[in-house]
């Protein structure tokens, strides 16, 4: 008697045996994924603009693509296996903090490549990666004519402050006072400003103003509100 349980088991065994992935297909998929992963590796290395480049994270992008491709190949062989895989992966938790938002972009890119190549859409993975990589290179090579800096000054009297303000008006494109601290000894001023790259000689003029104790200019990579 053919019960629902017997029909389900027979269907499962037939689908599983008929949907085996050949060794050649597996090797081709992993090779293509590896080559695209190397492309992601080079794009990340060339466009990285963070504080410290981490080679291990870059290598992990290649491995993420290949591992994801393996998972997708396994999932596409059988619907029952795919449900079990989803249940197993749902308990995985990643606790590593992502410091640079662009790292999230590369992680999703690597995962997307693994999914697409694992589903055998090789042309889509290649063309999509070329377009994404080109856009990232364009944005990485685009540099503004002015650079953001933080100027930190320490001076002793209000006359020095007026001279500092007049000099900034004449030598920088724009500036914005971020903080001002008054103590018994000195006055400390932090200013966010925009200058053309290389034009930093005005800092020497600031130091030569009577009453200025210290002048320090620091490059600033954070967001700037115009």
Residue 29 is predicted with a pLDDT of 92
Read off the pLDDT of each residue in 192-203 and give the average, rounded to a whole number: 74
Please choose, from the candidates 169, 168, 54, the residue with its C-alpha nearest in 3D space to the C-alpha of residue 102. 54
Q: How many CB atoms lie within 10 A of CB 130?
A: 12
In the 8-state DSSP scheme, what is residue 200? -
As its CATH architecture, domain 146-219 has 2-Layer Sandwich (3.30)
Q: How far apart are CA 46 and CA 58, in angstroms?
A: 11
Extents of the domains making up the chain:
4-141, 146-219
Q: pLDDT (tens digit, 9 = 90+) per residue, 97-140?
A: 666 778 888 999 999 999 899 888 999 999 999 999 999 999 88
Q: pLDDT (tens digit, 9 = 90+) per residue, 205-224?
A: 888 888 888 888 887 655 44
Read off the pLDDT of each residue in 32-52 and give the average, rounded to a whole number: 88
Helix axis angle for 23-47 and 122-141, nearest 10°, is 10
Residue 218 is predicted with a pLDDT of 81
């Amino acid at each position: 008697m053919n019960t629902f349980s017997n029909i389900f088991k027979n269907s499962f065994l037939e689908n599983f045996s008929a949907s085996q992935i050949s060794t050649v297909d597996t090797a081709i998929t992993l090779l293509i994924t590896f080559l695209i992963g190397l492309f992601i590796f080079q794009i990340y290395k060339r466009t990285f603009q963070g504080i410290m480049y981490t080679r291990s994270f870059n290598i992990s992008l290649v491995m993420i693509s290949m591992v994801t491709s393996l998972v997708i190949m396994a999932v596409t062989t059988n619907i029952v296996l795919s449900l079990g895989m989803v249940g197993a992966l749902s308990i995985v938790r990643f606790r590593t903090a992502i410091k640079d938002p662009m790292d999230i972009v590369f992680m999703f890119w690597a995962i997307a490549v693994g999914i697409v190549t694992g589903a055998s859409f090789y042309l889509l993975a290649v063309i999509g990666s070329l377009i994404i990589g080109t856009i990232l290179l364009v944005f990485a090579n685009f540099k503004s004519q002015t650079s953001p800096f933080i100027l930190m000054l320490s001076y002793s009297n209000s006359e020095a402050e007026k001279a500092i303000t007049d000099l900034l008006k004449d030598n920088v494109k724009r500036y914005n006072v971020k903080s001002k601290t008054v103590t018994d000894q000195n006055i400390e001023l932090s200013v966010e400003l925009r200058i053309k790259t290389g034009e930093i000689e005005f800092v020497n003029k600031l130091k030569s103003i009577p009453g200025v104790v210290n002048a320090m200019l620091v490059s600033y990579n954070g967001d700037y509100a115009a």
